[in-house]
Amino acid sequence: MCSAYSAASLCMSMLFFSITARQKIGTIFEAARIIVQLVVMGSGMMVKAFGLAYRQALANASRTGVAQEVGQKIQKASKTMTETEARQILGVEKKSTWEEVLQKYDNLFEQNAKKGSFYLQSKVHRAKECLESVYPQQ
């Protein structure tokens, strides 16, 4: 009888253990699910808040004219080349004639065409365009 009692006791304790283990695992999964939901909700709110703040900053900048001014400065700085830069690129001085400028342009353009440097060809061409406005039309 002692062995039957201990077998039943063992079965009951295993059954109880498996039920409590399942409850613990279920509780852990429930907690993990809640944490994931909180993280997803929080990140969604953060993205929305940053979007609203960015739109508000753009609206404030457009009202004060800062955006247009900065845009114009960037556009002007990126597209124009100064006369000094153009002369340095072509290697000519202020005293140089237009024919000398054209000769330097042709030499540099052809040298870079052979080596395949489109970037340098572009710089040489922009330098010539810049100096065209300085020299009288010939």
- Spatial contact of 120 and 135, defined as CB atoms under 8 Å apart: no
* pLDDT score at 36: 85
- What's the pLDDT score for residue 103? 92
Please report the sign of the dihedral spanned by the C-alpha atoms of residue 22, residue 23, residue 26, residue 32: negative
CA 92 to chain centre: 39
Report the pLDDT averaged over residues 3-23.
61
What integer pLDDT is reported at residue 58 of this predicted model?
78
For residues 9 and 83, which has the higher predicted lDDT (pLDDT)? 83
Please, is 41 exposed, middle or buried when counting C-beta atoms within 10 Å of its C-beta (0-12, 13-18, 19+)? exposed
Average pLDDT over residues 132-137: 78
d(CA 82, CA 136): 17
Task: Map tokens 């040489």 to a residue.
Answer: 124
Specify the pLDDT at position 131.
87
Residue 94: per-residue pLDDT: 87
- Calculate mean pLDDT across residues 103-111: 88
* CA distance linking residue 29 with residue 33, whole number of Å: 6
**Going along 3-134, which residue ranges are E strands?**
none
Q: What residues have CB less than 8 Å from 94, skipping those under 6 apart? A: 87
Q: How far apart are CA 92 and CA 132, in angstroms?
A: 13
